[in-house]
A = this chain, B = another copy of it.
Amino acid sequence: MNRVVDISSIKLSCRSCSLSELCLPRGLSDSELDDLERMMKQGRPIRRGEPLFRVGDPFHSLFAVRSGSIKVHLPTVNGEEQIVGFHLPGELLGLDAMGHEVHTCTAIALETSSVCELPYRQMQELCHQFSGLNEQFLSLISKEISGEHEMLLMLGKKNAEVRLATFLLNLSARFKARGFSEREFNLSMSRHDIANYLGLAVETVSRLFTRFHDEGVLQVQRRLVMIKDIQQLRAIAQVSDKNCPAAAR
């Protein structure tokens, strides 16, 4: 089964990475990319359920998802936890810990995933040298913040139906931006994760999937989702023109 491939020998290259337009390299020159690639470390792939970092772990690197998907959550005293984001390839992890000693949240792989490690000190030095990199970095940060604002709006004002529809449309747009189908995709997260993220009970999410299915909006087979009527889904999500176009996040 296991072909012997030394994964660490695969040269990490931003230039050959399909995500460069979403990720940090966006807008960099060739020589700048060289330096960026030199700085990056590739760890071993993380398997489903394994942590990339945990609350309280010392912070020294940011991470960019290269493949797979990763959930980020805050554990609480009661044992309950709140998922604050699902990260797809090209998205950054660990921003909440910048300028602090330790991570304030936990990142767990939803499937076998690989990440590019960006040692924070070196990253800062590179940002210092290349203003373009710094700009793209801050731009990604601000997207993170506005994305979280949208999420606050969801949890504060929207009912269960709107939340799930918005969630699916958001995923759809992000898959599309990554060259995948916007109509048909596999959810890497469980119903439990979705419910947790959306502030709902698992049963409510399950019932909504069934309802959307019955209404002909979706076709759902376990974790495979096919969007049958995207206009209707948008109507349910109450999207305005403003929210609709871009691949948010």
A residues whose Cβ falls under 8 Å from a Cβ of B: 74, 76-78, 80, 82, 84, 95-100, 104-105, 124, 128, 131, 134-136, 138-146, 148-153, 155-157, 196-199, 238, 240, 242
Since A80-B157, A104-B149 are in contact, a sample of 16 more A-B pairs with Cβ atoms closer than 8 Å, ordered by chain A residue number, is A74-B150, A76-B157, A77-B240, A77-B242, A84-B149, A84-B153, A95-B142, A99-B135, A99-B140, A100-B142, A105-B149, A148-B148, A148-B152, A152-B155, A155-B199, A156-B196
Q: How many copies does the complex hold?
A: 2
CB of B128 within 8 A of CB of A131, answer yes
Decide if the interface of chain A is mainly helix, strand, loop or mixed.
helix
Asked whether A145 and B142 contact (CB < 8 A) given A77-B238, A156-B196, A156-B199, the answer is: no
**How many whole Å from A55's CB to the nearest CB in chain B?**
9
Partner of A138, one of B74, B98, B104: B98
Q: Which 9 A-B pairs have the closest CB atoms?
A: A99-B139, A156-B199, A155-B155, A82-B153, A98-B142, A77-B240, A96-B146, A96-B145, A148-B148
CB of A74 within 8 A of CB of B145, answer no
CB of B82 within 8 A of CB of A156, answer yes
Q: How far is it, in angstroms, between the C-alpha of A97 and the C-alpha of B142 when the chains are bound? A: 6
